[in-house]
Amino acid sequence: MPIQCSSCAKNRAMLRRPKTGHSLCKSCFFWAFEEEIHQTIVSARLFNPGETVGIGASGGKDSTVLAHVLKVLNERYDYRLKLLLLSVDEGITGYRDDSLETVKRNQQQYDLPLTIVSYEELYGWTMDAIVKQVGLKNNCTFCGVFRRQALDRGAMMLNVDKICTGHNADDVAETVLMNVLRGDIARLRRCTAISTASDGEGGIPRCKPLKYAYEKEIVLYAYFKKLDYFSTECVYSPNAYRGHARTFLKDLEAVRPSAIMDIIHSGENLSVKEGVKMPVQGTCSRCGYISSQALCKSCVLLVGLNRGLPKLGIGKHHRLHDKILAQQALTQQEEKKLKAMNF
């Protein structure tokens, strides 16, 4: 016998919600999923009427669902937001070129303006070229640092008030686990925040409206709504450590679905012992971007790439950063250390 939707008790249930276990029909699932995101937005006061909000759009399921749901809620609840899509082209052949085609279709489907900023334009390097120089081990370090800054720069160009990204509950829980495993207390304290403060940090505030949305539900939503998204993995994706955290989290979820929310709540309620040193934010002396060091991470990586010293930004070489910044010559030994490819 078909199971009835436990919410409307009218239609036939089409799915079991991964987050709650409720059997729902399609329209009750859509409603529940969208309402939870609305609640997240309202209770964390993510937006103010009249703001321009840039949606970091990669063409993947998360940002596609985010763009779709924000557009729906903006109309349903009259948020009065000006929404636009902001994409980063990392210059990865066979991956980003294809996923950007998806974003371009999304632009048509959702009727939202789209801006694409590229690594090549901003830094003079594509990820293809970076991988040629640094290999496949630390490429994501370069990519992650450059992406963060690229989104900010694009957002500044467009005079955006806030950036929102498609990070979901699984991503947040995974990051909590990773930071625990690495003992990275500064990041552990920050990583569950739903938005970065608008003051003090310098950058454009960022928020994660999908913070409490389960990845499995995002996939179901995209599937039943027939959203157009791109699901291929990056061709340069090694990131082994995050992969382990991810597998671990999926195993936990299989035993007890609430594990994801529980880890997020644990992260949110941790208090950091006084006396733990937190980095002080200043600005980069080369490009003016926020940084806790003389040079921002992006500039350090870039200087390293441009001088053929790819190791400069990996690991701690602060003394050498100062030397390079002061345009002092490096000793042969120092050069050798930073050139090594086997890092």
CB of 286 to Zn ion, least distance (A): 5
| 197, two tokens | 């403060």
Instruction: Please state the closest distance from residue 291 (CB atom) to Zn ion, in A.
Output: 6
Q: Give dist(CA 19, CA 35) in Å, integer.
A: 14
Rounding to the nearest 10 degrees, give the CA dihedral for residues 236, 240, 242, 247: 110
| 62 labeled part of a ligand binding site | yes
Count residues near ligand SF4 (CB under 6 A): 9
- According to the annotation, is 161 in a ligand binding site? no
Phi/psi of residue 184, nearest 5 degrees? -90, 90
CA proximity to 327, closest of 293, 297, 295: 295
For the record, the structure tokens of 93 come out as 């052949």
Torsion of CA 163, 165, 169, 172, to 10 degrees: -80
One-letter amino acid at 191 equals C
Q: How far is the CB of 145 from ligand SF4 (least distance, A)?
A: 9
296 binds, among ligand SF4, Zn ion, none (CB under 5 to 8 A by kind): Zn ion
Whether 163 contacts 87, CB under 8 Å: no
Among 94, 144, 243, 288, indicate the residue that binds ligand SF4 (CB under 6 A): 144
Residue choice 99, 139, 149, 179 for contact with ligand SF4 (CB under 6 A): 139
Annotated ligand binding at 166? The verdict is: yes
Binding partner selected for residue 287 from ligand SF4, Zn ion, none, CB under the kind-specific 5 to 8 Å limit: Zn ion
* Among Zn ion, ligand SF4, none, partner that 284 touches (CB below 5 to 8 angstroms by kind): Zn ion
In eight-state DSSP terms, residue 195 is B
**328/157 Cα distance (integer angstroms):** 34
Stretch 221-240 residues interacting with ligand SF4 (CB under 6 A): 234, 236-237
CB of 256 to ligand SF4, least distance (A): 29
Binding mask 267-306 for Zn ion (x = CB under 5 A): -----------------x-xx-x------x--x-------
Q: Does 57 bind ligand SF4 (CB under 6 A)?
A: no
Q: Could you tell me the smallest distance in angstroms from the CB atom of residue 237 to ligand SF4?
A: 4
DSSP label at residue 273: P
Question: Do the Cβ atoms of 133 and 176 come closer than 8 Å?
Answer: no
Q: Which is nearer to ligand SF4, 147 or 162 (CB)?
A: 147
Counting beta carbons within 10 angstroms of the beta carbon of residue 116, is it exposed (0 to 12), middle (13 to 18) or buried (19 or more)? middle
**58 assigned binding-site residue:** yes
**Chain residues 244-283 in contact with ligand SF4, contact rule CB under 6 A:** none
For residues 337 and 58, give the distance between their C-alpha atoms in angstroms, rounded to a whole number. 36
Q: Among residues 72, 140, 314, 325, which is the contact residue for ligand SF4, using CB under 6 A?
A: 140
Amino acid at 195: S
Q: How far is the CB of 127 from ligand SF4 (least distance, A)?
A: 6
Sites of contact with Zn ion (CB under 5 A): 284, 286-287, 289, 296, 299
Sites of contact with ligand SF4 (CB under 6 A): 90, 127, 139-140, 143-144, 234, 236-237
